[in-house]
Amino acid sequence: MKYLMTCLVLSVSSLLAHAGLPVAVDEALKSAGIPQENVAIYVQAVDANVPMLSLNTDKPMNPASVMKLVTTYAALEKLTPAYRWKTEVYRDGEVRHGVLHGNLIIKGYGDPNFQAQDFWRLLMRLQQLGIRSIQGNLIIDKTYFSALPIEAPFDDEVWRAYHAKPSAFLVGGRKTSLQFEVVEGKVVVNQEFTLPEVNITSTLQVREGECGDWRGLMDYAVTPKKNSVQVSLKGTYSAQCETRYLELSLFNDEMYAFLTFKKLWSELGGKFKGKLAVQAMPENATKLFEQHSAPLGESIRDINKWSNNVMARQLLLTLAAEDNPWLATEAHGAEVIKQQLIQLQLPHDSLVIENGSGLSRIERIGAAQLGRMLVKAFHRPVMPELLASLPILGLDGTAKNRLQDSLAIAQGHIKTGSINGVSAIAGYMLDLHQRRYAVVMLVNHPKASQARQAQDKLIEWVYQH
């Protein structure tokens, strides 16, 4: 009898998986002008063996930032949630009476979330060791990662922070974050972390009405100069926007690190008149100490909740370097991920990884492959860390503004992804009876930006199922 019931359940589930799309989802796609052939959907309960709903599930699709799920999950399995990055500090001269008569050397190991406050803590430790003045240069050793090939910009906004390239020593994602707010009837623009080498001029005017597409109503221009960068802003900004941010990448990784070092060291009362050198660590260097990052289980929250591209790329290179220090390339990182999926007995044939972030025109994955990975992940020891890293529907991250007026709010952890021609969601949803489902919807079409309503309808359908 038990065998017959199991067969019946599997048969019904199989029929449902091949049934047509939910009416609301189908109508939303038609309204957006998106054919079903450009959509892949996979929905499976985490305690089931077959999907409840499927469409074009084996068709390789561009997942945009949803690819970060693959990168972070593979990293959790390969490295463990407790993995920490290190940053080492050396000197190649003697210290006498608080003066380092030589160079200060920092060797990076790819920490994806090394922020200004972490740099400040590192320099405080240096001063606690008795170094107050540095007579030599600052040497940055980035050799832990292999040199990256020259890349063309992903799009025309070449100064945006999402274009930042990975580096073995990356400070603050090398981003300059401009903060906008209206104070006493005027638009005020500040740097979140102020570098004196960044000069901002603004003619932004306050406008009436809703915030809406606030970025589309302002223009910015970046003018590099000999020892600084000029950022000019014009257009309008609504008081209803409250506080917003525009993140730009105005310096390369080593220069941003150097400028941050000089600022923090000076604020700590330290003296330095040297220059920047980017090279391998000298053989005669003496190790002073090493500093460790937050664990991987915490770091992936920034990657998934806020869809941080450069952090995802740092993670892919870390996977490569940990597997083979002599082959710390993105191509090898992709191979490490595929091998990890093979060990987990997960399909990998349709997987194409370029940089692990989804900011790519060639990355591909099938909806079934992604859905099955999510089901598998839910039953693995790393499940709590992966789940906690995803945006909570309607509450935070990139899913904060979705389904605000729906009963499904806060009932799912959903990663979103979008680039021109691609819109995607993937994650976990609870239904009315608190049964959990893996949900994937990938859209590859020139009108993909209009697929959000269809995705939301799918989410609500799963919740109400």
Q: What is the pLDDT of residue 6?
A: 41
Q: What is the pLDDT of residue 88?
A: 98
Same domain, 355 and 434: yes
Q: What is the pLDDT of residue 9?
A: 41
Same domain, 78 and 188: no
Q: What is the pLDDT of residue 19?
A: 54
Q: Is residue 193 part of a domain?
A: yes
Same domain, 352 and 275: no
Regions of the chain short of the pLDDT cut 70? 1-19
Domain that holds residue 265: 86-150+254-293
Q: Is residue 167 part of a domain?
A: no
Same domain, 309 and 421: yes
Same domain, 312 and 413: yes
Q: What is the pLDDT of residue 150?
A: 84
Same domain, 343 and 450: yes
Q: Is residue 168 part of a domain?
A: no
Q: Is residue 158 part of a domain?
A: no
Per-residue pLDDT reduced to its tens digit, 16-51: 444 589 999 999 999 999 999 999 999 999 999 999
Phi and psi for 15 in degrees, rounded to 5?
-65, -45
Q: Is residue 211 part of a domain?
A: yes
Q: Is residue 41 part of a domain?
A: yes
Same domain, 289 and 305: no
Same domain, 289 and 414: no
Q: Is residue 375 part of a domain?
A: yes
Same domain, 289 and 337: no
Same domain, 459 and 360: yes
Per-residue pLDDT reduced to its tens digit, 320-348: 999 999 999 999 999 999 999 999 999 88
CATH of the domain at 314: 3.40.710.10
Q: What is the pLDDT of residue 64?
A: 98
CATH of the domain at 90: 3.50.80.20
Same domain, 334 and 411: yes
Same domain, 33 and 96: no
Task: Quote the number of domains for the chain.
Answer: 3
